[in-house]
Structures are given as structure tokens and as C-alpha cells.
Amino acid sequence: AGNRGATTALAWIRREDEPDDGLIYGTASGLVVCWREVSGRETTFEESYCAKLANPGEITAIAFESGSNHLAVSNRNSVVSLFRVGPRIDLHPLFSIVIKNHIPKALAFGKSGEDKEIHTFGLYDGIILPTIYLLPYFGIMLINLLCSSGNVTANLRRGVFCVDDPSQGTALYRYSSWDRVRTYP
């Protein structure tokens, strides 16, 4: 970890217009660090970007959407930021927002109609906050899943997401209705 702090979130990324992979990670000290693949005789990675988020705090989650090359990052200070990932795996800020009384634990990209969304899953409150990121409009909708969330993964093609609910087990939800479909102990 060195002087950057422990790694607290990470994501592999691949831009649709680039053959090489990238790795993005966040640290306990609030840094977002990007590494890009450098092809050669042996595949290696080099650092291509490093910066602190607005209102720095421990990075809690990272999510990437390849179709738009957008990266969402959240931290323990209730900040959710959206970036465009450049071709050299560098980040270009689009916006940041502080969501009061909500500490994001996990992020996922979603879509309702033509609007793209970032879904933030609360660490302690069992709340999912889909935030629409079509600029200049920006809105927040509150949905309570009635569970605490650990990790989250989403499958937009199937319209479902899975929440690691530490008190009950892994829960499968449907995006269209926000209903719990099944709980796996």
C-alpha cells in the first residue's frame, strides 16, 4: 500500500474501442489510481492516472460501463463521482454529488427507458439510490431494499442484481419491480 493507503475497491475495465485492459483501484486514503495494459513480449501494466476525489475519503466502490466508457466511484464521505475513461485509461470528471445520510458500499450502472442511471447501494441503511446521470438533468430516487448490503453485482441484460445481505444471505432482485426474487442462504 505504501503511502497511498490500503486498496479498498477495484475494477477491471476494457474500453470497447481499445484492445488493452485497464485496472482501476481506490484506496483508504481517497485516491483513485488507473493502470493500463502495455502489450509487448510480456504483458505489463503502467500507472496512467492518480488523483483524489472531491471531499476525499476511503473509496468504497467502483463500477465501469463499457458502452459509454463511464466510471462511477464512491467514497465513505457520501460522494458519488462519474468520469469518462480516456483512451490512455485516464479519467475525465463529468460530475460529483454528495448524497446526505447515505454511504455507498457498491455501485452498478442501470437503465430505465432511455435514461442511464448509477445505482448506489447503502452500506448501513439498506437503501438503493438510483441516480440518473443524463446531463443536465440529475435526479435521485430513493428505494429501500430492507436489508444491509455488502457487495453488489448487476446483470442489466437480464434485468437483475444480486446483493450480499450479511443478515440473510445473497439476495436476487429484479430491476423492473425492485422485488426480491430469491434469497440464497
The rounded mean pLDDT for the chain is: 82
Q: What distances in angstroms separate CA 49 from CA 55, 85, 89, 92, one per listed residue? A: 18, 10, 7, 10
Q: For 132, what's the count of Cα atoms within 13 Å in the CB-facing half-sphere?
A: 12
For residue range 70-98, list pLDDT tens digits in order: 999 999 999 999 999 998 899 999 988 88
Question: What is the mean predicted confidence (pLDDT) over 128-147?
Answer: 61
Where is mean pLDDT largest: 79-88, 135-144, 153-162? 79-88
Whole-prediction pTM value?
A: 0.83
Q: Which long-range contacts (CB under 8 A, 24 or more apart) does 44-50 make?
A: 48/22, 48/88, 48/89, 48/90, 49/89, 49/90, 49/91
User: What is the percent of the chain where pLDDT is above 70?
Assistant: 82
Distance CA 171, CA 4 (A): 34
pLDDT at 1: 57
Residue indicated by cell numbers 437503465 = 111
- First-residue to last-residue Cα distance in the chain: 34
Q: Which of 10-19, 53-62, 82-91, 118-127 has the lowest mean pLDDT?
A: 118-127
Q: Does domain 7-147 bear CATH number 3.40.50.20?
A: no
Q: What is the mean pLDDT of the segment spanning 31-53? A: 87
Grid-cell match 439498506, residue found = 126
pLDDT of 185 reads 83
Q: Which of 152, 4, 20, 151 is nearest to 12 (CA)?
A: 20
pLDDT for the residue 77: 93
Q: Which of 37, 84, 34 is closest to 59 using CA atoms?
A: 34
